[in-house]
Amino acid sequence: MLPLSTVNRSGATPNFPAMKYSYLELSKMIDHALLSPALTDQELEDGCRLAIRYQVASVCVKSYAVPHASQILAQTNVLVSCVVGFPHGNTTTASKRYETEQACQNGAAEIDMVINVGKALSGDWNYVENEIRVVSDETHRHGAKIKVILETDYLAQGGAGLSAEQLKRNLCQISERAGADWVKTSTGYGFVKQPDGNLRSIGATEQDLRLMRESVSERVQVKASGGIRDLDGLIQVRDLGATRCGTSATAAILDEYHQRELAVKTGQPAPPSLDPKGASGSTADY
C-alpha cells in the first residue's frame, strides 16, 4: 500500500505532457486546511485570503474559526468547511450534533465529521451508523453537506473480525446509508506509533481511494486527505475518482500548475517542484 505521489526533490527536470485538467478543475478540488493547533488569527486571515486568490473549493477550519472565516469569505465563491469531533472522533454524538448545528448557523456550508474509530474497531455498527446519521441529518437540516472521515491509518490492521479492506468497505457503506455526501480518508492527524516509538501518519493512499470509490454509489463522493502535497498527487487523486482533496500545501500545488502550464506553452523545461513546507508553512496537517 503506497502513499500518493510526493514532491520531486531530486533536482531532475521532467518533461511534462499537455495539461490534463484545467486550473479550476483542480483548484476546485481543494479544501485548504487551516487546522494547526497553534493557528493564529492572522494565519487564519492569511489562509482565507490565499484560498480566495487560488480559487479553491473551501477552507477547512475548526468550529471556533467558522464565524471569522465566514466573514472573510462572504461574497466569494470559496466555502467554509468545518471539522467536527476533530481530530480523534471521541466526543459524544450529542456533542458532535451540537457542534454541527453551531457551525452551520455560523456559516459553514460543509461539515467534515470524524467517526468514533474505537467503536468501529469494536464492531459497534449501530453506534457508528446512528452517530453518522444524527450528524448527517443536522447538517442537511441547514442545507449543508457532510464528509465522513474514516481515519484510515487506524484501520490498517483491520478490526471487529474484519480485514482492513473489509472494515473500510463496511464503514463506507454505513456512511452512505446514514446520509454521507462524501467519505473521506483521514484527518491528517491519525498518527500511529511505530515499533521504534516514532509516530507516523500516511494519510490517503491509492489503494484506499480505489476501495472507497468502489464501495459507495455515484451519489457519494470521495475526499482524499493526508500527504497530498504536490501537483502530481492532486492529479492522481482526481484520476482515482476523488472530487475533493484536503491539503495545506495549496500554494505549492497550484503554483506548480502555473509553472508546468507555462513550460508546456513555451516548450521550456519547468523548474523542479517546490518544497510544500516552504510554500505553505506546514506539512504536519493534511
List residues with catalytic annotation. Answer: 112, 184, 223
Q: β-pairing, 244-247 with 30-33? A: parallel
- 125-141 and 164-177 are packed helices; what angle lies between their axes, rounded to 10 degrees? 40
Q: β-pairing, 145-149 with 110-114? A: parallel
Computed on alpha carbons and rounded to an integer, the radius of gyration of the chain in Å comes to 18
Contact 235, 198 (CB under 8 A): no
Query: How many Cα atoms within 13 Å fall on the side-chain side of residue 233?
Result: 30
Q: 53 CB contacts (<8 Å, ≥6 apart)?
A: none
Closest listed residue to residue 80, CA positions, set 134, 44, 27: 44
Residue 164 Cα distances to 66, 168, 260, angstroms: 34, 6, 38
Instruction: Look up cell 448557523; give the residue.
Output: 105
Amino acid at site 57: A
Contact 155, 123 (CB under 8 A): no
Closest listed residue to residue 237, CA positions, set 224, 256, 220: 224
